[in-house]
Structures are given as structure tokens and as C-alpha cells.
Amino acid sequence: MAAVTKAPRGTLDKLPSIAYKYRAVENIALEIANLSGYREIRTPVFEHTELFRRSVGDTTDIVQKEMYTFDDKKGRSLTLKPEGTAPVARAVIENGLLNEALPLKLCYITNCYRYEAPQSGRYREFSQFGAEVYGANTPLCDAELIALAFTLIERLQIPQSCYKIEVNSIGCPECRKIYQDALKKYYEQFKEELCHDCHTRLTNNPMRLLDCKVPTCAKFKNDAPLILEYNCDDCSDFFATFKMALETLNVPYHVNPKIVRGLDYYCNTVFEFVCENGLVFGGGGRYNGLMKELGGADTPASGFALGIERIVSVIEGYATSSDVQSTQNVPEMYIAGIGEQSAMLALKLSHELREEYGIQCLCDIVGRSVKAQMRFADKTGAKFSIVIGDDEIANNVATLKNMENKETLEVTLNASEISKNI
Ligand code: AMP
């Protein structure tokens, strides 16, 4: 029975008491993305497994350990998307979107699935807001992307003291190669002490050595060579202009030369949004190699993804912004009726207030006593109430009560008059 009444491990029910915060974050995100010319794209929840193998990379934890992969009835290997970028890139190529005016700016809100060990802020089903630009290979593009995420964070009134925007440049494939050799050489000295995964990383993907959270490996990170010192002149210039653009846009940032990002297709710009408690709630960067890797035209691309669960957990800690609060589903009005005729009028007036005046209004639909109706109205947090009985119908007037300050006002019993007084 537990399997019926218990959600699968690592999933989260977003109950009404919190779901409105998700809705608010999503609405604000799409609204500000639209202002910068990003158009929403929606891709399927599952894709061919090969897409993630090719894009995210065979050597990553995501592909090696975390994907929800299954065969369909025709034996095709499919995978629930573990991240949003690869499906968008696939859709861009498949649908020829690069033939539209470039740069192409797209944004998405999507669920993602990763078979990770669940813990605070880490789920097996989670959602991301992402924004991507195709066809722009400039530091200004990257700075504009970060500014978009920063605007969202500001709109949610997350204090700047509570998080950092950390940026780095991982260079181009040429200078990165020299860096990777240096990194490999450095870590080889400690080979005996590295964890099993890091042994593989040493051969397959040395930059991931910097991502290892195992304490015995993590300690070597402190003295590891820094990629910024290996950036070629062009990459250094790119990074300098990128930082200047962030300053121009008043986006606060910190250079963290140890960020490398977990995915294979990044180059130059990488960044992360990190809470004061170390929780990373977003990240992104430039992935110029991805489109070609997937068989499309060689097109530069850049983007980010913010984890919505983590953003909501961050805003839980602070005074809720009015933008978020206004998304809460609190009724404006409750109309109670005493008796059959009054109940019918309450039903009609509620409907008119909703339909003609856009006022959120509730009335009794379960046949409760007036006392029980008012108890219910109180519980919903309705801001105003009216009670209709025989006298009110006879006089066509009722008392409109402000449920907060208890002030009352006589109003004519029609939707137009009621709407003017609340
Ligand atoms: P990534 O694609 O790993 O860079 O993830 C981008 C963002 O998605 C992260 O910064 C998190 O906010 C969020 N995220 C990634 N994995 C999870 C997870 N297992 N549970 C909740 N949020 C996640």
C-alpha cells in the first residue's frame, strides 16, 4: 500500500501552500526573459539516450550514473531529460531554427530527472528555468545572460549578501589542452590517494578532478594550477570584456578560477550562482562546440539554467516579494447565503463578479449553515464577505464586511456595486 500513498523517493509534491511560489518564479522568469527577446520553447520529457551521451558526455556522472533510461516497446533507448540544454539544441537543429534571424534567443521551464542520492535541495525530479542564445560568440552575450538571471534574483528580492555570482573562463580547446596537461601532471603526484572516480577522471577528463567532493581528493584542489593562468591572449581578452560588461550592467560578480562546470561542451565563460551555505542554485556558460557535436551547423551558443526548487528554498528564507505574494491564491470575496433562494443569488453574484469583474469570489456549494460558511471564509483568508438572507433579498441591500479591519458598508446587491466597493 505504501507504494500507492507515498511519492517516489526524491520527488516533491508542491502543495498549494508553496506551489504559488513556483508559479511566481516561473511567471517572473518568463516575463523578464521576454523583455530581452527570449522566446519560450518546450521540448519532450524524454529524448533518445544517444542525445545525452553525445551532448552531456559519456564521462560525466549524469550519463554514467544518473539517467532515467528505459527501452520503449520497440526497443528504442529513451531517457528522461536530465538537463534542458541538449533537448533545446536538438530541437533547434531538427527544426532549422538557425535559419531564423540570429542570434536566436530561447528560454524554457522544464522538469529534469536525475537518479541522485536525495538530500536537502537535491531531488530526482526537479525543474529548471533556462535561457540560451545561439549565434553570438561575444562576451556581451554572456554578460547579458547573467544580467537576466540577476534581474530575476533581484525581482525575487533575494538580498545580494546571501549569494554570489561566481565567474571564470575555461578558455578555448587549445589553451585548455595545455591546462589539462598541467592539471594532470599535478594530480598524478597524488594518484595513490585519489578516489576511484578521480582515477578515471585523471585519464578521461582531468578538469572534473576539481569537482570531486570526496574530502581526500578535494584537499588537492587548493594548490592545483589555475586555468585563468593558462588562458591564451584571445581568451583573456574575452574574459576581460565580459567582466567589463558585467560592471557596466551593475551585476556583482566574483572571479572563482576553480569553477569548471560538469559538462563537456563548455568553453570560455562559465559561471555559477552560489548561496552563502554553498548550495549552487544555478549555473551556465558558453558551449560553442555543442551544435557541431550534435550534427548541426557549427554555431556558437551560451546559456544558463537555474534550479527552481533551490530558488524557492532560498526565497523561503526572506520576506516574500510582493510579486510572489500576489500570486498566492487568496479569495477577494466570500458570499454566504441563508436558505435556498439566497444560496442561488450568492452563486449568481459570485459568478458575475468573477466573469465580469475578474474578482476572485467564493460561495457555498456544499449546503453549510451560515456559521460554518463564515468559518470557512475565515480559513480561506477572504478579504471581504457578504451574508445574504431573506431581508437582504427583500431590500436588495446587504452588508459588505472587510474581514481584516471589520469595517462594514451597505451595498446594493448587484455585482457592479459590490465590485466598486472592494
Ligand atoms: P546543472 O545542469 O547540474 O548545472 O544544474 C543547474 C541547476 O539545476 C543547479 O544549479 C540546481 O539549481 C539545479 N539542479 C541540478 N540538479 C538538481 C537536483 N538533483 N535537484 C534539484 N535541483 C537540481
> What does the radius of gyration of the chain's CA atoms come to, in whole angstroms?
27
The predicted-structure confidence for 368-377, as pLDDT tens digits, reads as follows 999 999 999 9
The identity of residue 406, as a single letter, is K
Residue bearing cell 459570485: 350
- Output the domain CATH number for residue 383: 3.40.50.800
Q: Is the Cβ atom of 282 under 6 angstroms away from ligand 1?
A: yes
Q: Is the Cβ atom of 123 under 6 angstroms away from ligand 1?
A: yes
The pLDDT of residue 154 is 96
Domain end position, chosen among 298, 324, 350: 324
The predicted-structure confidence for 32-75, as pLDDT tens digits, reads as follows 999 999 999 999 999 999 999 999 888 788 898 999 999 999 99
Length of the chain: 422
Higher pLDDT: 344 or 191? It is: 344
User: Which domain does 150 fall in, by range?
Assistant: 3-163+252-324
For the chain, what is the domain count?
Answer: 2
The three cell numbers of residue 17 are 501552500
Q: What are phi and psi of 163, to 5 degrees?
A: -155, 165
For a mutational test of ligand 1's pocket, the pick from 52, 63, 85, 114, i.e. the residue with the most ligand atoms closer than 8 A to its C-beta, is 114
Domain end position, chosen among 305, 324, 343: 324
Residue bearing cell 546559456: 303
Q: Is the Cβ atom of 98 under 6 angstroms away from ligand 1?
A: no
Residue 264 has pLDDT above 70, yes or no: no
HSE, CB side, 13 Å, CA atoms: give it for residue 395.
10
Measure 94 CA to ligand 1 centroid, in angstroms.
Answer: 26
Task: Determine, yes or no, domain membership for 16.
Answer: yes
Q: Is the Cβ atom of 280 under 6 angstroms away from ligand 1?
A: yes
The predicted-structure confidence for 349-382, as pLDDT tens digits, reads as follows 999 999 999 999 999 999 999 999 999 999 999 9
For ligand 1, atom 14, the nearest C-alpha belongs to 307
Q: Is the Cβ atom of 166 under 6 angstroms away from ligand 1?
A: no
Q: With left for phi above 0 and alpha for psi between -120 and 50, is residue 339 left, alpha or beta?
A: left
Task: Determine, yes or no, domain membership for 66.
Answer: yes
pTM of the predicted protein model: 0.91
**Residue 105 contacts by C-beta under 8 Å, 6 or more apart in sequence?**
36, 37, 38, 39, 131, 132, 133
